[in-house]
Amino acid sequence: MNIRIAIIGAGAMGADHARIVTEDMPGATLQVVCDSDAARAKSVADAFGAADSASDPEAVIARGDVDAVIVASPDFTHAPLSLACIRAGKKVLCEKPLSQSSAECLTVMVAEQAAGARFVQLGFMRRYDPSYAEMKQALADGSLGRALMMHNFHRNVETPAADFTGAMAITNSAPHEFDVVRHVLGCDYATISAAQPRRSDARVAPVVMVLETTDGQLVTIEINNNAAYGYDVRAELVGERGSIAMNPVAFTRRDTDLISATAYSSDWRGRYAEAYRRQNRAFLQFVRTGQFPEIGSDCWDGYCAAVVAEAGVTALSAGRKVAVDRITKPEFYA
């Protein structure tokens, strides 16, 4: 049976999900594209052959011809629309973050547990990127010894959206690292420190964070939303007996005029095309079988990202190390 998918949000991410549904998800049909801007919804729907376009997300979620939902609308809508999907009994792939508020993440967790089944897969797609998978495997096979540190750089050409605020380097961009480092190391965070170069006068200045994990490791994360030169994400996992580092990802290298050069993607859609493809296919299986994807991220992961982001914002403004406090993990999410 074909799975009829609605996409809510027709911006850059929603349009890319529409492309993935039509090009890379055999057995899925792009049924509806929804956006508060009806013209933008229709433009994306027409571009990717959706059966319909709409502008009321709650009505779309309730439609009888929609089997599953992908939420790619602005951050503040993620939790309310995930709750609407749970109420409608429909699986949802919700773009990260689940919410920038840990309290709001808890409301979605409570609703999902009350519903008695998993409905929400969160869009921390880095888990599906082959480089992090190889890092996790290197830890598992023992070749590195125990993990001591993990260093991360996450650089955009420029802030991804006009409404991006300084704190969103921590609450919107950094959740990718907060989540994938937890996934690779199999731990959580105990404390976080954060600082910015005072010299930067960018609207969203770079931020450097140092986190201590619950297993005594150190994690460093640099977020630079205005790196200018390219979309550049790096990571290196350092163990007691060795390290494993992410290579630059490019299919070709050009050697001309005494220069050897590879190109950067302009944003995440190129660099992580394979990760999104794998994530979205895992979501389709989730919809079909009800079995939550083995490496998928869930509401608990969304909550964990939100609590460390909130602590990071506090650490940045207070100029001191801040403890990362979490509730006890519900058995439901074990």
Name which of 121 and 225 has its Cβ closer to ligand ISE: 225
Closest CA to 309 of 149, 160, 165, 126: 165
Least distance in angstroms from the C-beta of 283 to ligand ISE: 16
Quote the least distance from Cβ 126 to ligand ISE, whole Å.
Answer: 8
156 counts as binding ligand ISE under rule CB under 6 A: yes
Among 9, 160, 293, 296, binds ligand ISE (CB under 6 A): 160
Nearest residue (CB) to ligand ISE, 102 versus 173: 173
What is the nearest approach in angstroms of ligand ISE to the Cβ of residue 305? 11
The pattern of x and - marking residues 237 through 276 that bind ligand ISE according to CB under 6 A reads: -------------------------------x--------
The Cα 288–Cα 72 span in angstroms is 21
Q: Residues in the chain, how many?
A: 334
Site string for ligand ISE, 190-229 (x = CB under 6 A): -----------------------------------x----
Q: How far is the CB of 176 from ligand ISE (least distance, A)?
A: 6
Which residue, judged by CB position, is nearest to ligand ISE in the bound state? 268
Binding span for ligand ISE by CB under 6 A among 25-33, 170-178, 189-197, 255-263: 170-178
CB closer to ligand ISE, 277 vs 288:
277
Among the listed ranges 152-160, 209-217, 301-309, 317-325, the one in contact with ligand ISE (CB under 6 A) is 152-160
Which CB, 72 or 139, lies closer to ligand ISE? 72
Between 143 and 266, whose beta carbon lies closer to ligand ISE?
266
Decide if residue 152 touches ligand ISE (CB under 6 A): no
The CB-of-269 to ligand ISE minimum distance in angstroms stands at 8
172 sits near ligand ISE (criterion: CB under 6 A)? yes
82 alpha-carbon distance from chain centroid: 15
Binding site for ligand ISE (CB under 6 A): 154, 156, 160, 172-173, 176, 225, 268
